Amino acid sequence: MLTGDLQGVWWLPESPDHTVPGTLTLSHEARPTLVMIGSIDPNLGLPASIGTIFGHTRDLPFVFGRTASGQSVTLADARFALRQMHIEDAESAVFELVGRAAYVGAHVHPDRATFSDLDLAIERLIDWRDASPFGLSLTPSHERPKRIVVSGDVPESVRADLDGGELLVRTSLSTSGDFHRQASLSLDTLLRLRLDHGLTKADWLEAYAGPLQRLVALATGRAIEIERMELSEPSADLRCEVVWPRKLRASEPERRFMPDELLFTVTDLGDRISERLSAWLSASRRLEPVMNMFFATRYAETMFEEDRFQNLVQAAEAYHRRISGARPDQVAYDERTAALLSVAPEAHRDWLAEVLATAKEYRLSDRIEALVKLHEWMRGDVVPQNIHRWAVRVAMARNYRAHQDPEAQPIGTSARELMGVTQRLTVLIEACLLHELGFEEDRVREMVRRASPAYRILKLNPTL
């Protein structure tokens, strides 16, 4: 991600002849912030300028700029306010624009510009790529070497066909250092997507960048962020990096992941990589609420165990609803409902239809029990032998918290007891998502037992 200060001149698209000098600051921690000497709006008079000090800020859809090096920049969704001004010298007023995102490299309309290519760098992507091409040789000995040779081979790109395009997992080898006293080799991996049609930045994030980020987060068992996102439209010779604030975590831990820290790698996707990545992108749309609730537990820096439990229970419920529907036999339900409504008095028909709308649906305990039975190896390993009893207890714990049901027993009143439930639910949903990727159940079991952080917590704390 590009960070630092970009100095240049700035203007509103509708007023290209009115430019003001300013500095745009880009950082991981804060939104793109532009500080200018003078008002970027030629129609903003002194009274209106003073008014922005007292909270009367203005929203600007986008602002154009050109840096001192000649680079085009667009600042999107910005809020404009006066920050400093001497009442006798309005021309020297200092204004501030805080945007939601910056497009470095092009002047674009953020909501309308479309791009057909995406270059995406994600934290820990090199670990997920499972590439280790470095070689080291020392002569004549390790104690007092006379010659050290470090070599590196660039892994071949991995290609996956997607609906309407393709994805490449590309790895590059680069050098760094002063080559006088210090020199080093480093590997970088990025995802390059090419479509036969253009998408806006928002559509790229929703349909591809976000789901791929979550795929790596599932594989690593950690919160993973997008390091860099570049969009381009080769036919229009258009290319820009999209910059927005986010907390990067690549330094944790400061080493390569071990095999028992990755549920799966690119290599594990095998020769079915096109099928499996397409299935994941499709599942990300179909299971969006499930993904949102599950990955919220992974990305939240702090979360009460009660909130984690609620998210995971809702994720399990939503997942089962989407794969199994609302009822065990929807056809029979529809036929019986139609028959009852046809003979019901007209005055009570609407009331009866409303009553029947939620009748005979799966109970929460039914849904959780059914999900566990899809992964039978969990019985006695992840969850107790009596699956039904455990599922009922989970549902009672949810009802006690969500509905304040006076008849529901207060299950999981301590954080420790609730932690055991949340770790088991986490393993359950991980297994469900691995199944969505098309892995066979034996492979899912092996992955979870080898690398799931939640499974490891359960095994290290058998009393949970």
Q: Quick one: average pLDDT of 411-419?
A: 77
| Sign of the C-alpha dihedral computed for residues 348, 351, 357 and 362 taken in this order | negative
How does pLDDT run across 381-395, given as a tens digit for each residue? Answer: 999 999 999 999 999
448 is in which domain, residue-wise? 288-325+362-460
Q: What mean pLDDT value characterizes the chain?
A: 87
Query: For residue 335, is it within any domain?
Result: no
Cα 233 to Cα 62, 169, 198: the distances in Å are: 20, 19, 8
pLDDT at 74: 96
Q: Same structural domain for residues 237 and 98?
A: no
Which CATH number goes with the domain that contains 10? 2.40.10
Single-letter residue type at 273:
I
| Same domain (yes/no): 366, 455 | yes
Question: What integer pLDDT is reported at residue 402 of this predicted model?
Answer: 77
Mean pLDDT of 410-430: 86
pLDDT band (50, 70, 90) for residue 55: low
Examine the pLDDT at 250 and tell me if it is beyond 80.
no
Kindly indicate the confidence band of residue 197, based on its pLDDT and cuts at 50, 70 and 90: very high
- Structural domains counted in the chain: 3
pLDDT band at residue 133, thresholds of 50, 70 and 90? low
Q: Is the pLDDT of residue 70 over 90?
A: yes
Residue 26 lies in a domain: yes
Asked which of 264, 280, 299 is the last residue of a domain, the reply is 264
pLDDT tops 70 at residue 316? yes
Residue 302 has pLDDT above 90, yes or no: no
* pTM score, whole prediction: 0.87
Residue where a domain stops, chosen among 104, 124, 152? 104
Mean pLDDT of the 36-53 span? 68
> DSSP assignment of 170-207, as one string?
EEEEEEES-SSS--EEEEEEEEEEEEEEEE-HHHHIII
Task: Report, as an integer, the average pLDDT of 358-375.
Answer: 88
Encode 360-370: b = buried (16+ Cβ within 10 Å), e = exposed. ebbebbbbbbb
Provide mean pLDDT across the span 185-212.
Answer: 93
Lowest mean pLDDT across 77-81, 304-308, 354-358, 396-400? 354-358
Between 378 and 331, where is the model more confident? 378
395 plus 292 within the same structural domain: yes
- 139 shares a domain with 41: no
What integer pLDDT is reported at residue 146 of this predicted model?
79
DSSP 314-328: HHHHHHHHHHH-SSS
Domain annotation covers residue 199: yes
Q: Is 347 among the domain residues?
A: no
Q: Please, are residues 431 and 444 in contact by the beta-carbon 8 Å criterion?
A: yes
Q: Is 352 exposed, middle or buried (CB count within 10 Å of its CB: 0-12, 13-18, 19+)?
A: middle
- Cα separation of 240 and 224, whole Å? 23
375 and 445 both lie in a single domain = yes
Domain boundary among 104, 126, 151: 104
Share of the chain above pLDDT 70, in %: 90
What pLDDT sits at residue 50?
A: 58
Burial 336-347, CB ≥16 within 10 A → b, else e? ebeeeeeeeeee
Confidence band (pLDDT; 50, 70, 90) for 175? confident
Query: Has residue 338 been placed in a domain?
Result: no
In a domain, 110, yes or no: no
Same domain? For 258 and 305 the reply is no
pLDDT (mean) for 232-244: 93
Could you tell me the pLDDT band of residue 431, with boundaries at 50, 70 and 90?
Answer: very high
Do 384 and 312 belong to one domain?
A: yes
Q: What is the pLDDT of residue 185?
A: 78
Of residues 180 and 225, more confidence is placed in 225
**Strand 58-67 with 72-86, pairing:** antiparallel
Give the model's pLDDT for residue 7: 95
How high is the pLDDT of residue 187? 80
Same domain, 317 and 387: yes
Q: Does residue 153 sit in the same domain as residue 93?
A: no
| Residue 411 scores a pLDDT above 70 | no
Question: Using alpha carbons only, how large is the chain's radius of gyration in Å?
Answer: 28
User: Do 67 and 100 share a domain, yes or no?
Assistant: yes
* Domain presence at residue 331: no
Contacts 24+ apart (CB under 8 A), 388-391: 391/365, 391/366
Q: Greater confidence, 302 or 333?
A: 302
Supply the pLDDT for residue 99. Answer: 93
Please give the backbone phi and psi of residue 263, each rounded to the nearest 5 degrees, phi first.
-60, -40
The verdict on 293 and 247 lying in the same domain is no
pLDDT band at 333 (very low <50, low <70, confident <90, very high): low
Q: Are 190 and 121 in contact (CB under 8 A)?
A: yes
